[in-house]
Amino acid sequence: MAEKQWHTVQMGAIEPHQRLQKLIADSQRVSIDSTMPINRYYRSGNQIVETADRSLREGNFEKAFTFYLRFVTIFVELIREHPGYKSVLPGDKQQTKEKINKILPQAEKIREKLLAKYTTEYELYLKQLKLQAEREENDRKQASTSKPVEPNVPVAVPMVPAPSAPSLVSVITDEDAKLMDKVMYPSDFLPDRNYASGLPGTGLLLPGADKRFDRSLKPQPVAPAVPTVTGFRSIVVPTNTMMKFLEQAGANTAANLETCAILAGSLTQAKFTITHVIFPKQSGTADSCNTMNEEEIAVVQDRHNLITLGWIHTHPSQTAFLSSVDLHTHCSYQLMLEEAIAIVCSPKYQETGFFNLTPFGMDSISQCRLTGFHPHPSGQPLFAEAQHIILSDAVTIKVIDLR
């Protein structure tokens, strides 16, 4: 396979319409998992809109635009492909339609602001190039006229620095460049489903070298994770969450069966707090767990005014990591709420992992159509240790068991 060629460019050097096209293509590069219950998408879709609204209030127009388009792409184009679409209640479809009708004009206004911003930066970049060229020409003239040149004596020409680059630098690929050929608007919805961003990962936390699983079915370990600034809002996790969960999962663990539950809570002052662990009806094997009757979870969450913040499950006979199946499961959570976490408890090895997908992982898994246990692209980490969790004794977890 030919090595992918990379181009390092200043973002201001990209023609404004092409730069906007790339942002739109990135925003629409999402998919849904047909194996996930469809009501999970409808119940959590408002989290995408909430993230976009918050980004807009904070003046982060690119992020707001990205999440608005993500919502519209899912609920206009993709959701109809889900096998459970016919079972969605008419009221849920109507509410989603109303949100879309509000989002589209908002996205168009943001598109205009971004185009104006990109145009200003592009014009500034061109002015910088012109001024730099004029400085270089003046330097050459001064070098040739500042003092007489002795016959047959070579003249040293001073090194001229390269044009100074704007502060914002990005890396785009040949594939990126091919996408930059026309302008797309929020109403077009023509994403390239095979596009791969190649965004850098944020590190990978895995247990030690002694494994008890097939390495072909999980990402290979890389250097230990280094704490990074994720931009995520914090999630407070009560320290007794894992203990309470493992108590309820004890019978399954003894029988070498996985157990899973939903992590739910609330948002207060730009910080999430997990307050409930909800066990849905489920069936488990030694390396998988399937939920059933998820509409019961919806009833509980409505009753307690809870939002979904992630999930937790056991690996009764293996270490704490995200398998290929786990990656797909968590992608559906993180697609709806970017801060969503996956907690993996390994009673046998006394390990607990707090994970989220990397940008590269989200891009790769959301485009993967394989099911069951299967390999994924290597080279960059697909998941990482979550850097935005806060363990706290100030909150006590509540358990709701629907099994």
Rg over CA atoms, the chain: 25
Angle between helices 90-145 and 61-72 (to 10 degrees): 140
Residues of the chain with CATH 3.40.140.10: 235-401
Angstrom distance (rounded) from CA 370 to CA 327: 12
Strands 383-385 and 169-173: unpaired
Residues of the chain with CATH 1.20.58.80: 16-120
- pLDDT for the residue 220: 37
Element housing 114 (H / E): helix 90-145
Check residue 380 and give its pLDDT.
87
What pLDDT, on the 0 to 100 scale, is given for residue 186? Answer: 32
Distance CA(194)–CA(379), nearest Å, equals: 18
- The pLDDT profile of the chain, 403 residues, written as one tens digit per residue, is 443 333 334 666 789 999 999 999 888 888 888 878 888 888 888 889 999 999 999 999 999 999 999 999 999 999 999 999 998 989 999 999 999 999 999 999 999 999 999 999 999 999 999 999 989 888 888 888 765 555 554 544 444 333 333 333 333 444 444 433 333 333 332 233 232 222 222 222 333 333 333 333 444 333 333 334 457 999 999 999 999 999 999 999 999 999 999 999 999 888 999 999 999 999 999 988 989 888 899 899 989 999 999 999 999 999 999 998 999 999 989 988 999 999 999 999 999 999 999 988 998 888 777 777 777 777 789 999 999 999 999 999 999 999 9
Residue at 72: amino acid letter: V
Rounded CA separation 323/262 (Å): 18
What pLDDT was estimated at residue 40?
83
- Are 244 and 351 a contacting pair, CB within 8 Å? no
The residue among 268, 261, 346 whose CA lies nearest residue 310 is: 261
Cα–Cα distance for residue pair 338/354, rounded to 1 Å: 14
The CATH class given to the 235-401 domain equals alpha beta
Q: Give the pLDDT confidence score for residue 14 in this predicted structure.
A: 87
Q: Cβ(45)–Cβ(332) under 8 Å?
A: no
pLDDT of residue 152: 54
d(CA 361, CA 324) in angstroms, rounded, equals 11
Dist. CA 71–CA 76, nearest whole Å: 8
Among 1.10.3470.10, 3.40.1160.10, 1.20.58.80, 1.10.1750.10, what is the CATH number of 16-120?
A: 1.20.58.80
Contact call for residues 342 and 330 (beta carbons, < 8 A): yes
Token pair, residue 20, equals 């906007």
What is the pLDDT at residue 151?
55
> How far is 33 from 40, CA to CA, in rounded Å?
11
pTM of the model: 0.67
